[in-house]
Amino acid sequence: MKDLLLPVLIERFKIERFKNEGFKIERFKNEGFKIGRFKNEEFNIERFKIEIYRMEEIMIKEQTQVKKAEESRTENSYLLMPGHINGYGRLFGGMLMQWIDEIAGIVAKRHAQTEVTTAAIDNLQFKSAAYLNQTVVLIGKITYVGRTSMEVRVDTYVEELNGTRKVINRAYVVMVAIDKEGTPVRIPGLALETEAARAEWEGGEKRYQLRKTRRQEGY
């Protein structure tokens, strides 16, 4: 169990806590996850594991959960009615954005198990149109988490009568967990059990850094 938690723990604490504990972070390619090296010392895997296990105990004390993306994955379907259609006979973009925000909120609530608020809608890409009487399917899942915020990827599909689906939109929505007073609260970590999940995480981390840079530059 502890060995399975190593990648998650490293991802969760890789910046602040590992630096404070005397590590620098590197990619350990043949294992597929990030690992550390003691400053001014030869790397010792046994000592490293002891430090990781100690941090696992800290996580337990702080009541920090680690959850799978599948636990909060959400799928919603809509039959396009006249009220959903714009003057050009296609799905109104504003309606789709509302549905994207709604499903992202549901995913985030299921992961955080508390109230959430939308912080940003990032990389909203309209790839194709949807028309009256078509079935539209939205699928949302967690891709990246911070201390109080999380990124939700929402894919929108048109579903044909034979069940095949075509992606018409992809968006990344940033949600923040809050308490009853509206104060941000800590959220569970995210288990990275597959290469695809780790790739999503790394993409989410890059988007987080881009948003941070834009905020600092006033955009």
The DSSP output letter for 85 is B
Q: Which residue has the higher pLDDT, 187 or 40?
A: 187
Question: Residue 137: which pLDDT band, with cuts at 50, 70 and 90?
Answer: very high
What mean pLDDT do residues 182-195 have? Answer: 92
Name the H helices within the chain: 2-13, 16-20, 45-61, 93-112, 195-216
Strands 33-38 and 23-28: antiparallel
Question: Is 186 exposed, middle or buried, given 0-12, 13-18 or 19+ CB atoms closer than 10 A?
Answer: middle
What mean pLDDT do residues 182-187 have? Answer: 94
Structural domains in the chain? Answer: 2-64 (no CATH), 67-216 (3.10.129.10)
The string of pLDDT tens digits covering residues 89-119 is 999 999 999 999 999 999 999 999 999 999 9
Question: Residue 49: which pLDDT band, with cuts at 50, 70 and 90?
Answer: low
The pTM of the full predicted model, rounded to 2 decimals, is: 0.71
The string of pLDDT tens digits covering residues 51-92 is 665 665 555 444 457 899 999 999 999 999 999 999 999 999
Separation between Cα atoms, residue 3 and residue 13, nearest integer Å: 16
